[in-house]
């Protein structure tokens, strides 16, 4: 579904947006925004998986069963989000936050179980495949279609993802659905307008160590990438920048920010409106000045909608509470979903405590740290987790682990104490952080160590399935991730889930040639690599032919080959009329196709480009594996 952009509607909306900014300015000048009170809140995102631990695109059906306004959709049909009610900061607020979140998740579990589906808290689902990220799996809402159309138009080309870690991931995609790869745990902290700038800067400064302690997304599409790969994926999945001359600097729509905030929240909103185009619009009926003249806090819906399309990792938020009071919040968007609710609330407590402690000191963070250092810390923490080297306020560089254990946990403890948080809550949640960091056992480390322990067992798909199955099992216990046993290959439920579709076992590390290269090269590649099929690509990786072992041998024994006086091009011997499949082709369909067409090899193509290959040898290997498993029972 594509929605035509109504330029007149966008112009009218832009006027409403500018009017809202003027309305916010009046609210700030008149002292009409709530001050002197701290509230906390959260947004929990998650994946839905089926009995084979694959993404289950049933979010719409789940929401029809739940009908709780706190549970909402996300962009993907296999994603859900739930929002806890805001709580006053202090007392047992943290344990109450955990309890409410557990109740919400129980409600979701009850609804999903009737559909044979389970929610999973993880930053990026290991069993997610590119074929899951189609427009068909986007939640059918006008907002998401309009967002996809607007961002795609601004890009002027495909979405490109390029991330390097232990492995490397490079791919292109045709929609904003790459965003559906991510699930986060977002926490909110209400602050007063007069202190917003100082506390927002503090929130920026502590982002890196909090992220380093909570990483949980090291895998995507089977590749080992950053400790918190969500950071790179999200930035690239909604990046609207096109290639420009080198001297032109264009800000990304997802960012950490460019500099400190000096005086007011208005600086953030004005900068974002200055830099980023309005891409979504709707009719705004409320005039903020009329609302204020009538004694009501304006909703500023145009500002809120625009703000939802600019993705700062620490977002400034305006809202109106249930009692009608306008307020400002700082929203931390860097933390991943999972591994457990306890781990998530511990991450939140760590962030709340650090922001509170540094705020209580009353000093200006800008005098202690440079913004470039803070931004560099953030990227380093996302890439390396607890192994990151972080520059801190003492001017020294520390490993994230040492900085957190030696300086920041005690600092967060003082911030929670000064905020009146119960001692039992402080001990429970900061104790979880202390144990996790001391043992170097984050969710990311658990996933990677589990994957390493299974490296000689099963297929790559079996290992990913086992990780998700183990995550579901361990989350049900409620025990924090640093106490989890490593995943085992058998937890994925056997071999069947790993061989349902071609993309799950196709070979992707391919040897290919160009049609102009000599057949001698083809023969040697077959000999050296013990393979019987060599795909032929053009310079754009489009599949143009295939050379198989037996036709090549027949040609080499022919009179034409013996009479040749120079190198013979591959084009002379390659087959051009090829039988191919797509990555989401079912295994049974592929077997039938091979049998009916009498071929021993199926190139796997997407958009005419070669991405993999399966052969009859693969099916013999699969059959052997399945027989061993079946006969061993």
For residues 268 and 257, give the distance between their C-alpha atoms in angstroms, rounded to a whole number: 9
**244-258, 579-593, 596-610: which has the minimum mean pLDDT?**
244-258
The CB-side HSE value for 593 (13 A sphere, CA atoms) comes to 18
Strand bridging mode 254-255 / 311-312: parallel
Token pair listed for 616: 């009859």
- Please state the domain extents for the chain: 7-439, 443-487, 502-632
- 151 confidence band (pLDDT: 50, 70, 90): confident
DSSP 55: B
User: Which residue in the block uniquely carries the two structure tokens 């009719």?
Assistant: 283
Do 186 and 326 meet the contact criterion of CB atoms below 8 Å apart? no
- Range 63-72 average pLDDT: 93
Chosen CATH of 502-632 out of 3.40.50.1220, 3.30.360.10, 3.40.50.460, 3.10.580.10: 3.10.580.10
Determine the pLDDT at residue 83.
Answer: 95
Determine the pLDDT at residue 138.
Answer: 95
**4-18, 89-103, 134-148, 557-571: which has the minimum mean pLDDT?**
4-18
Which residues in 343-477 belong to E strands, given as ranges? 389-391, 397-399
- Range 132-158 average pLDDT: 87
Determine the pLDDT at residue 242.
Answer: 55
Res 631 pLDDT > 90: no
Determine the pLDDT at residue 439.
Answer: 98
Q: Which residue has the higher pLDDT, 381 or 611?
A: 381
Task: Kindly report, residue by residue over 295-335, the tens digit of the pLDDT.
Answer: 999 999 999 999 999 999 999 999 999 889 999 999 999 99
Determine the pLDDT at residue 21.
Answer: 97
- 246 confidence band (pLDDT: 50, 70, 90): low
For residues 547 and 513, give the distance between their C-alpha atoms in angstroms, rounded to a whole number: 9
Q: Which helix (H) or strand (E) holds 128?
A: none
DSSP secondary structure of 551-613 = HHHHHHTSHHHHH--SPPBGGGT-B-S---B-TT-BHHHHHHHHHHHT-SEEEEEETTEEEEE
Res 244 pLDDT > 60: no
Res 592 pLDDT > 80: yes
Determine the pLDDT at residue 500.
Answer: 76
Res 201 pLDDT > 60: yes
- Range 190-218 average pLDDT: 98
For residues 555 and 559, give the distance between their C-alpha atoms in angstroms, rounded to a whole number: 8
Q: CA angle at residue 329 from 142 to 404, to 5 degrees?
A: 115
Determine the pLDDT at residue 230.
Answer: 96
- 220 confidence band (pLDDT: 50, 70, 90): very high
Determine the pLDDT at residue 7.
Answer: 79
* Sign of CA pseudo-dihedral 61, 83, 296, 265: negative
Res 2 pLDDT > 70: no
For residues 470 and 468, give the distance between their C-alpha atoms in angstroms, rounded to a whole number: 5
* Residue 440 CB contacts under 8 Å (≥ 6 apart), including other chains: 386, 401
Query: Which of 505, 502, 474, 499 has its CA nearest to residue 488?
Result: 474
Do 398 and 388 meet the contact criterion of CB atoms below 8 Å apart? no
Determine the pLDDT at residue 503.
Answer: 83
Determine the pLDDT at residue 73.
Answer: 94
Task: Kindly report, residue by residue over 363-419, the tens digit of the pLDDT.
Answer: 899 999 999 999 999 999 999 999 999 999 989 999 999 999 999 999 999 999 999
Task: Kindly report, residue by residue over 443-500, the tens digit of the pLDDT.
Answer: 999 999 999 999 998 888 889 999 999 999 999 999 999 999 999 998 987 556 667 7
Determine the pLDDT at residue 632.
Answer: 59
Q: Which helix (H) or strand (E) holds 429?
A: helix 423-439
**117-131, 145-159, 177-191: which has the minimum mean pLDDT?**
145-159
Alpha helix positions (H), 247-386? 266-275, 288-293, 301-307, 341-361, 371-384
Determine the pLDDT at residue 250.
Answer: 63
For residues 242 and 512, give the distance between their C-alpha atoms in angstroms, rounded to a whole number: 31
Q: Which residue has the higher pLDDT, 618 or 57?
A: 57
Do 82 and 70 meet the contact criterion of CB atoms below 8 Å apart? yes
The CB-side HSE value for 141 (13 A sphere, CA atoms) comes to 12
For residues 117 and 58, give the distance between their C-alpha atoms in angstroms, rounded to a whole number: 8
Strand bridging mode 39-49 / 185-191: antiparallel
Task: Kindly report, residue by residue over 169-200, the tens digit of the pLDDT.
Answer: 998 888 889 999 999 999 999 999 999 999 99
- Range 220-233 average pLDDT: 96
CB atoms within 10 A of CB 188: 20
Instruction: Measure Cα distances from 291 to 282, 296, 299 in Å.
Output: 19, 5, 9
Reduce the secondary structure of 290-326 to three states and give it as a string. HHHHCCCCCCCHHHHHHHCCCEECEEEEEEECCCCCE
* Sign of CA pseudo-dihedral 191, 33, 297, 265: negative
As its CATH architecture, domain 7-439 has 2-Layer Sandwich (3.30)
Task: Kindly report, residue by residue over 328-374, the tens digit of the pLDDT.
Answer: 999 999 999 999 999 999 999 999 999 999 999 988 999 999 999 99
The DSSP bridge partners found for residue 545 are: 536
Task: Kindly report, residue by residue over 268-291, the tens digit of the pLDDT.
Answer: 999 999 988 888 888 888 999 999
Determine the pLDDT at residue 302.
Answer: 96
Please return the burial class of 80, using the count of CB atoms within 10 Å of its CB with bins 0-12, 13-18 and 19+. buried
- 129 confidence band (pLDDT: 50, 70, 90): very high
Determine the pLDDT at residue 629.
Answer: 60
- How much of the chain, in percent, has pLDDT values that exceed 90? 73
Determine the pLDDT at residue 504.
Answer: 81
Res 31 pLDDT > 60: yes
For residues 506 and 198, give the distance between their C-alpha atoms in angstroms, rounded to a whole number: 53
């Amino acid at each position: 579904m594509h929605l035509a952009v109504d330029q007149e509607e966008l112009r009218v909306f832009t006027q409403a947006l500018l009017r809202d900014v003027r309305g916010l300015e009046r609210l700030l000048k008149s002292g009409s925004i709530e001050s002197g009170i701290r509230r906390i809140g959260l947004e929990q995102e998650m994946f839905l998986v089926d009995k084979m631990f694959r993404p289950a695109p049933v979010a719409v059906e789940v929401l029809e069963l739940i009908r709780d306004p706190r549970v909402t959709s996300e962009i993907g049909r296999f994603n859900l989000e739930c929002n806890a009610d805001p709580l006053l900061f202090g007392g047992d607020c943290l344990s109450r936050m955990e309890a409410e979140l557990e109740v919400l998740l129980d409600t979701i579990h009850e609804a999903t179980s009737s559909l044979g589906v389970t929610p999973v808290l993880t930053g990026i689902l290991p069993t997610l495949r590119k074929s899951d990220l189609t427009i068909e799996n986007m939640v059918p809402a006008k907002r998401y279609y309009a967002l996809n159309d607007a961002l795609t138009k601004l890009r002027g080309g495909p979405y490109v993802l390029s991330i390097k870690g232990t492995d490397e991931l490079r791919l292109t995609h045709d929609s904003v659905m790459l965003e559906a790869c991510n699930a986060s745990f977002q926490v909110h902290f209400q602050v007063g307008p007069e202190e917003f700038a100082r506390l927002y800067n503090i929130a920026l400064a502590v982002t890196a160590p909090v992220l380093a302690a909570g990483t949980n997304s090291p895998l995507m599409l089977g590749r080992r990438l950053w400790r918190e790969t969500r950071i790179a994926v999200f930035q690239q999945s909604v990046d609207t920048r096109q290639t420009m001359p080198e001297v032109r600097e264009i800000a990304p729509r997802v960012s950490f920010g460019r500099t400190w905030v000096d005086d007011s929240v208005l600086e953030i909103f004005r900068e974002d409106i200055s830099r980023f185009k309005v891409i979504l619009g709707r009719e705004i009926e409320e005039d903020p000045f009329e609302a204020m003249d009538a004694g009501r806090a304006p909703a500023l819906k145009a500002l809120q909608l625009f703000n939802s399309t600019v993705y700062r990792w620490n977002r400034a938020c305006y809202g109106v509470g249930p009692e009608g009071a306008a307020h400002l919040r700082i929203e931390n968007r860097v933390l991943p979903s999972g591994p457990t609710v306890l781990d998530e609330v511990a991450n939140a407590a760590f962030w709340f405590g650090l922001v509170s402690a540094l705020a209580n000191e009353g000093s200006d963070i800008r005098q202690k740290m440079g913004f470039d250092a803070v931004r560099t810390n953030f990227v380093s923490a996302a890439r390396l987790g607890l192994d990151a080297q972080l520059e801190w306020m003492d001017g020294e560089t520390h490993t994230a682990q040492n900085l957190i254990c030696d300086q920041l946990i005690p600092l967060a403890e003082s911030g929670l104490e000064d905020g009146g948080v119960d001692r039992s809550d402080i001990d429970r949640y900061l104790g979880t952080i202390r144990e996790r960091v001391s043992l170097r056992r984050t969710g990311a480390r658990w996933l990677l160590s589990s994957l390493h322990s299974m490296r000689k067992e099963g297929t790559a798909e079996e290992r990913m399935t086992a990780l998700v199955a183990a995550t579901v099992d361990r989350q049900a216990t409620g025990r924090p991730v640093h106490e989890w046993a490593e995943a085992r290959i058998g937890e994925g439920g056997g071999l069947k889930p790993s061989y349902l579709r071609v993309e799950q076992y196709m070979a992707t590390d391919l040897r290919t040639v160009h049609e102009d290269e000599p057949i001698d090269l083809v023969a040697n590649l077959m000999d050296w690599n013990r393979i019987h099929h060599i795909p032929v690509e053009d310079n754009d990786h489009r599949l143009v032919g295939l050379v198989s072992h037996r036709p090549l041998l027949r040609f080499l024994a022919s009179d034409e080959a013996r009479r040749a006086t120079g190198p013979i091009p591959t084009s002379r011997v390659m087959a051009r009329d090829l039988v191919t499949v797509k990555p989401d082709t079912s295994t049974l369909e592929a077997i039938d196709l091979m049998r009916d067409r009498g071929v021993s090899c199926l190139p796997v193509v997407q958009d005419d480009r070669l991405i993999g290959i399966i052969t009859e040898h693969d099916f013999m290997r699969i059959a052997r594996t399945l027989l061993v498993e079946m006969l061993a029972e």
